[in-house]
Amino acid sequence: MAGAGRSGELASILHFYAEAGVDCALNDTPNDLFRESLQAKTRAPAPKATGQGGSSTGRNARPSPPATPPARSATVPDETAVDSARQAAAGAKTIDELREVLAGFNDCNLRFGAKNTVFADGNPSADVMFIGEAPGRDEDRQGLPFVGRAGQLLDRMLQAIGLDRTTSYITNIIPWRPPGNRTPTPLEIELCRPFVERHVVLAAPKVVVLMGNVSTKTLLNTTRGILSIRGTWSTYHPNSDTDIPAMPTLHPAYLLRNPVQKRLSWQDFLNVRIRLDSLAGESD
């Protein structure tokens, strides 16, 4: 019975880790993977074993290991990398061009640990654009934002105010999954900010909904926490010529952990619906 109880505890722990996005194991002692990558890059190839006559096909010859591509050494992003991101984003004239530019941008280390670049989903011509934080495990695998449990909740929230992925546009501040679903660092956010700002300008939504602390603090340039600022309309300036009504609200992943707060998000989404209806009436 004790063994069965122990197995149940282990299964519960593994389930908790999976739900939290922990999908890789760590050693008890730290490994300097950056140094190992650098060493693998510079290590001289081992000499081939030879048999009689210098041939590599003799009895003592060993098969050489398959060649592996040299690992890219990681670098800490700096102002030069941020300037590169700004120039690359500014050069995109359409959303498709921006997608291609982002796919070829190599100055953010997050992309080298991610399976996919998660760009956007939904209708780029929609009146409302939802902006979250960063992809999770499911999003990284599928290459689309908000497709895991938080995304399923977002779909139900959209449906509750008469929207879906054909009438809204969805993206994130960060297009690559941070390891272990950790919060993006300030440098990573600054590297990715030019792309999401250009994305908003090119999509030209009538309303943006900022989901969670990272998107709200980044795009509204505020230090206020999401619980203090949510539900209050602000104005987002993606550039000097553009003003867009912005509604900060709670991230769906937060709501999964704190379901009692769904009532607050419901109020925020109702306000978004009212604003969209008002703007539609003005255009008529």
pLDDT score of 106: 92
Whole-model pTM? Answer: 0.74
pLDDT score of 183: 93
Q: Domains of the chain (ranges plus CATH)? A: 79-283 (3.40.470.10)
pLDDT score of 139: 97
Q: How far apart are CA 60 and CA 76, in angstroms?
A: 46
pLDDT along the chain (284 residues), means of 10: 60 55 51 56 50 43 42 58 94 98 94 96 98 97 97 98 98 97 94 97 98 97 96 94 96 97 97 96 76
pLDDT score of 116: 97
CB-CB contact of 209 with 128 (8 Å): yes
pLDDT score of 282: 80
Strand arrangement of the beta sheet that strand 121-122 belongs to: 121-122, 169-172, 128-132, 207-211, 242-249, 234-239
pLDDT score of 249: 98
pLDDT score of 42: 56
pLDDT score of 14: 58
Neighbours of 82 (CB within 10 A): 17
pLDDT score of 51: 46
pLDDT score of 18: 53
pLDDT score of 67: 42
- Residue 130, classified by CB atoms within 10 Å of its CB into exposed (0-12), middle (13-18) or buried (19+), is buried
Interstrand relation of 169-172 and 121-122 (parallel, antiparallel or unpaired): antiparallel
